[in-house]
Structure 1
Amino acid sequence: MQYYFSKKLTNTTFEQALEKVAEVLKSKGFGILTEIDVQATMKKKLDEDLRPYKILGACNPSFAFKALQAENKIGTMLPCNVIVQVLEDGVVEVAAVDPMASMQAVENPGLESIAGEVQDQLKSAIEEL
């Protein structure tokens, strides 16, 4: 099973892609809780150069609440990560975790429907970009 959904965006900059991702996620009920600039972190911590790469921690509060009610340790897998990166050819790629893949490790049938709903929304957001 593939553990993510992705889409390559043409005719856009990295910054424009970040804005569009935030906008589309918001339209699906997700907010961005965290933003990790992996490029800057690698430069600061390791003095290594990396292409533009950000990890966005996306959360839909109603889905998160349902998941926390069904499984009190599920916070270890929240929020849903979405990456925006520039590939070697200069194309911007956006990828989001497939919550159904990550939930396979959790043996709780109550999470399956919630993960399915989140999967539908994230997949739809990626397709909409």
Structure 2
Amino acid sequence: MAYTLTTHVPLPYAEAVDAVKAALADQGFGVLTEIDIRKTFTAKLGDEAGDSVGDYVILGACNPNLASRALGAEPEMGALLPCNVVVRRAVGAEETTVEAIDPQTMVQLSSSGQVKEVADDAGTRLRAALAAVSGQ
């Protein structure tokens, strides 16, 4: 099973990050965390490591209503939250890649019908956000 939903966009990296945040907001997701991998690698491992990963951010996206439903069904689901969304662009790349965790991954770990409903809803919303960013 693929564990990410992926699209590629012709936008420059910074524009893609802004577009992803806006598309997530349109689907009811807020961004709780933002981890700049390039900056972290550069600080901890040196310039070469930062340069090798390229522009790369992990956005911790959360839709409070969906998170509440998932945690109500199984409190352990908190270990899988928030939904991570990656925006990345390798050095010299012509496109920016946007990837989101496929919420169906949660279903693989749970037998709860409520968790499946939440994963289905989250998946629909994340697919819509990625489609909006890619102009589909």
Instruction: Say yes or no: TM over 0.5.
Output: yes
Gaps of 5+ in 2: none
| TM-score where L is the length of structure 2 | 0.89
Aligned equivalents of 1:102 and 1:71: distance in 2? 11
Aligned equivalents of 1:101 and 1:19: distance in 2? 26
Gaps of 5+ in 1: none
Q: CA RMSD in A?
A: 1.2
Q: Does 1:122 align with 2:126?
A: yes
* Aligned residue number for residue 67 of structure 2: 64
Q: Does 1:7 align with 2:10?
A: no
Q: Does 1:53 align with 2:56?
A: yes
Q: Does 1:104 align with 2:103?
A: no
Q: Comparing both structures, which one devotes a greater share of its residues to helix?
A: 2
Shift of 1:102: 3.5
Name the aligned partner's letter for residue 77 of structure 1.
L
Stretch deviating more after TM superposition (98-107 or 26-35)? 98-107
After superposition, give the CA deviation of every residue in 1:7-33 in whole Å (9 maximum; x if it has no partner).
1111x2111111100101000000000
- Is the Cα–Cα contact under 8 Å of residues 103 and 111 in structure 1 kept in the other structure? yes
The percentage of aligned residue pairs carrying the same residue is 34
Aligned equivalents of 1:23 and 1:110: distance in 2? 28
